[in-house]
Amino acid sequence: MKSAEEYPVPELFDRSSYRALVEEIQFLAHQYYVLDSPLVDDAFYDDLFRLLQRVESLHTDLRDQDSPLKKIGGEISKDFSPVPHDPPMLSLDNALSLEEFLVFDERIRRETGQSHPEYHAEPKYDGLAAEILYLEGILRKASTRGDGFTGEDITHTMRTVANVPLSLRKKPGRLLIRGEVVMKKQDFLDLNAELTEKGKKNFANPRNAAAGSLRLQDSSVTRSRRLTFFPYSVTSIEGFTLPELQSDIWNTLFPELGFRPGELSFRGGREEVLKHYEAVESSRSELPFDIDGIVIKMNSLKTQQELGTTTRSPKFAIAWKFAARAGYTRINSIVYQTGRTGVITPVANLEPVTIGGVVVSRATLHNQSQMEKLDIRQGDTVEVIRSGDVIPRVVRVVPDEKHASREAPVFPTHCPSCGGPLVKEDIFVRCPNPDCSGRVVAQIQYFVSRDGIDVETLGEEWVQKFYSAGIISDAADIFALTKEQILPFEKMGEKLAAKIIASIHSRRSIPFAVFLRSLGIPGVGSHIAQILSENSGNLETLLAMDEKELTAIHEVGPATAKAIAEFRDNPRNRNLLEKFRKYGVELISPAPKKDSSFSGKTFVFTGTLKKLSRTEAAELVKERSGRVSGSVSAKTDYVVAGEAAGSKLEKAEQLQLTILTEEEFLSML
C-alpha cells in the first residue's frame, strides 16, 4: 500500500499511476465495506480519495467507469426508464407454518427421487430486490424488480451503495446478479430522526426507506442513507464456470467477485433446516437488518434446473416466513370502505400501537363474516398482527367484563360512498353501482399505485383530494392535471406540485402490458397482462377479440375472457380509453417476434445438454414464439432429453409424448 504522499503530484499522473490509485482505493473499500476488516485509518483513506479527486479534475481523459468517485453520487436522473428482465424475476411461494414447509419437502423428495435432499437456507432480507448487469467486470446497469418482467433503471443510485463494486475483482465477460438492497435498523432510526427535525414525513419501516432511497433522482442523497446490497443469485455468467452448489455460490463465488454474501446462510437436510429456522427466528431481533423468514433452495444447481419454474415462482425454492408479530390495542371505531370492485371492507381504527418497529393505527377486518365471527365491538381490546410482517389485521378480541355491554356493529345495507343498496355475493357484500364514487376513487388509486403504472408522489390521499375537488373524475384525468390546478391544495408546495406533474408526465408512455394490468380488470394481473400483450400486440387488436378468441390464448381462462369482454362493452370504460388517447397517453407495443415457427408448442427440457445450456435452449424456443414449461403434462408437445434425464423423461414415456435428443432439437432450429 502507498500513502497519498508516495504517489506523483496530480499534475504528473499517467494512466499507470491513475489505475494504481483507483485499485488501491477499491481494495481498501472492499476490506472495509465487504470484509468488515479495515486496514488503514480514515485519514489515510481520505487522503487517497482527495488525491483521486484532484487527479480526475486535472486529467478528465483518465477517468474510468469504475472510478471510486462515482460512489460519491450527485448524478441526477429524471427518467427511471424501463429495464426488461430476462429471465423474469419471479416471486417465491411462501410457507407460513411447519406443515407447509413439510409439504414442500415431500414434493421435492417425490419429484427428485431423493430420500434426503440437501437444502441451502438463506436469510429473507426485508428490502428491495434489484438486478445488476456487469460487462467485462464493470457495472453497466442496475434495475428494480418492478413487476418481475420489467423494472426501473436505478443505475445512478446503485453506484452509490457502499458495498456494490463498480469493478469486479474477477471479471467475467458478462454477469447478471440479483440481490436485496436493505437499510440497517439503526440507520433507519437515524434517518427518521433527521426527517422529523426537518418537518418531513417519516418512512414506515426500513424496507420502505431502502426502496424510496434507491428511487431518488439525486444519487448523492441515496449515498447519505447508507444502504447495503446482499446478492442471492447469479442469473447468468460468461467466462466463468458456475459451482455445482448454491452454497458454493454464496461462500466462494460471491466473495471472489467482490460481493459481501448475506449472513446466516446454511446447508443441510430437512432436520438441520428446522433447527436453523428456529435459531434464526429466536435471534432475529438482535440482527442489524430486518428479516422476515428464510429462503430454502435445493442446494444442487443441477436439481434446480431440472425442477424448473411455474409461471410465477421457482419449484426448487420456498420462503418460510416467520410467525407474524403481534400487538394489543383498543378499537376506537369501525369504518367501511368501498373497493375498486365494489366490495365493502370493514376497517378498524386503532389506538396506535408499535408492532415490529412500525406504528399501526388501522387494520383490516376482511369481511362481514369475519367481523361477526370475531364478535368485535368498538372499545374492545384486540390482538393485531402484521401478517408476513406487512399487512396489519385483527385476529381476536381479548375478553373483558364490558365486552357484552358494548354495542355490536351493524354492517351497512347501503354503500358508504354512494348510498346505493348493497348486494350479498357469497362472503362479500358489494356495491353494484359502477359509478359509485368510492369505487371510482379506488380504481384511480390502483391505477397510479406501484401495482399500476406507478406514478411517484401521487399517493392515495392526493387522489382522494383531487377527486373530491372535482378536478379528476377517472384515471385518464390525471394526465390533464396542471401545476396551477393542484398548487392551491393545503400542504401542496411548489416543489411537490412540480414533482407530481413531472411524475405524471413521465408515465405518458406506458408499456402495453403495464397499462392492461393497471386497468384492474378481474383476472388480469402482471402475468396474464404480459401474455395478452404478446398475443395481441396492441389495444385495438385485443378489444376486437371475442371471448372464444381470448380463451384460445394459452393461460387465459373463460372467466378472464368474460371479464375482458365486459370491460370492453361498458360505455364508461370505452369513454375512459378514448380519454387516455385524447390526453396523449402512448401505449408501447411489445417487440414483434421475428420467428413464430414454434407458436403454440410447449417444450420441456430435462437432463444435461452438451452444446447449449438449458437457459440458452429455452431462450431459442421463446424467440420462436414457443413456450417452455418446467413440468411434463399431456399438453406438452416436446420433451428434450439430455444426459442423466430423470423423472420427467419417465413421465414423458408414460404419456407417449414426442421425445427429442439434443441433436434432434438443434435440427428443428
The pLDDT-based confidence of 77 (bands split at 50, 70, 90) is low
pLDDT in tens, 443-467: 999 999 988 898 888 988 999 999 9
Using alpha carbons, list the distances in angstroms from residue 357 to 73, 390, 400, 476: 30, 11, 28, 38
List the one residue out of 127, 118, 388 whose CA is nearest residue 276.
118
pLDDT at 475: 96
The pLDDT-based confidence of 593 (bands split at 50, 70, 90) is low
* pTM, 2 dp: 0.57
Mean pLDDT of 395-409: 89
Q: What's the whole-number average pLDDT of the chain?
A: 88
Q: Give the three cell numbers for residue 286.
A: 438482535
Q: Give the three cell numbers for residue 251.
A: 461462500
E strand intervals along 145-280: 150-152, 174-183, 227-238, 266-268
* Domain range list for the chain: 4-64, 94-320, 325-418, 437-586, 602-668
Using alpha carbons, list the distances in angstroms from residue 505 to 307, 478, 643: 43, 10, 53
Tell me the CATH architecture of domain 4-64.
Answer: Orthogonal Bundle (1.10)
pLDDT at 592: 67
- Given a cut of 80, whether residue 324 has pLDDT beyond it is no
Report the b/e string of 576-590 with b at 16+ CB within 10 A: bbebbeeeebebebb
pLDDT at 377: 92
Mean pLDDT of 378-395: 80
* φ, ψ at 126 (rounded to 5°): -95, 80
pLDDT at 323: 78
Is 124 one of the annotated active-site residues of the chain?
Answer: yes
Q: Give the three cell numbers for residue 136.
A: 467485462
**Domain 602-668 sits in CATH 3.40.50.10190:** yes
SS3 67: coil
Neighbouring residues of 613: CB distance < 8 A, sequence distance ≥ 6: none
pLDDT at 387: 63
Q: Give the three cell numbers for residue 660.
A: 427429442
Mean pLDDT of 600-629: 80
Mean pLDDT of 173-186: 92
pLDDT at 258: 92
pLDDT in tens, 533-543: 988 889 999 99
Mean pLDDT of 318-340: 89
Among candidate residues 70, 71, 124, 321, the one labeled active-site is 124
pLDDT in tens, 121-173: 999 998 899 999 999 999 999 999 887 888 889 999 999 998 999 999 999 99
pLDDT at 35: 63
Total Cβ atoms within 10 A of residue 33: 18
d(CA 89, CA 130): 9
pLDDT in tens, 199-222: 788 787 788 889 889 988 888 899
- Alpha-carbon dihedral of residues 160, 163, 166, 170, nearest 10 degrees? -170
Which fold would CATH assign to domain 437-586? Answer: DNA polymerase; domain 1 (1.10.150)
- Given a cut of 80, whether residue 311 has pLDDT beyond it is no
pLDDT at 79: 66
Ranked by mean pLDDT, the top range of 35-39, 297-301, 381-385, 397-401 is 297-301
The pLDDT-based confidence of 317 (bands split at 50, 70, 90) is very high
- Given a cut of 60, whether residue 36 has pLDDT beyond it is no
Residue % of the chain over a pLDDT of 90: 45
pLDDT in tens, 505-529: 988 999 999 999 999 898 888 878 8
Mean pLDDT of 578-585: 95
Q: Which CATH superfamily is domain 94-320 in?
A: DNA ligase/mRNA capping enzyme (3.30.470.30)
pLDDT at 563: 92
Burial of 634 (0-12, 13-18, 19+ CB in 10 A): exposed
Mean pLDDT of 409-418: 94
Mean pLDDT of 620-624: 82
Q: Which one has a higher pLDDT value, 108 or 386?
A: 108
pLDDT in tens, 501-511: 999 998 899 99
pLDDT at 185: 86
pLDDT at 350: 93
pLDDT at 357: 66
Mean pLDDT of 572-600: 86
pLDDT at 326: 80
Which fold would CATH assign to domain 325-418? Answer: OB fold (Dihydrolipoamide Acetyltransferase, E2P) (2.40.50)
pLDDT in tens, 340-352: 989 999 999 999 8
pLDDT at 359: 81
pLDDT at 284: 82
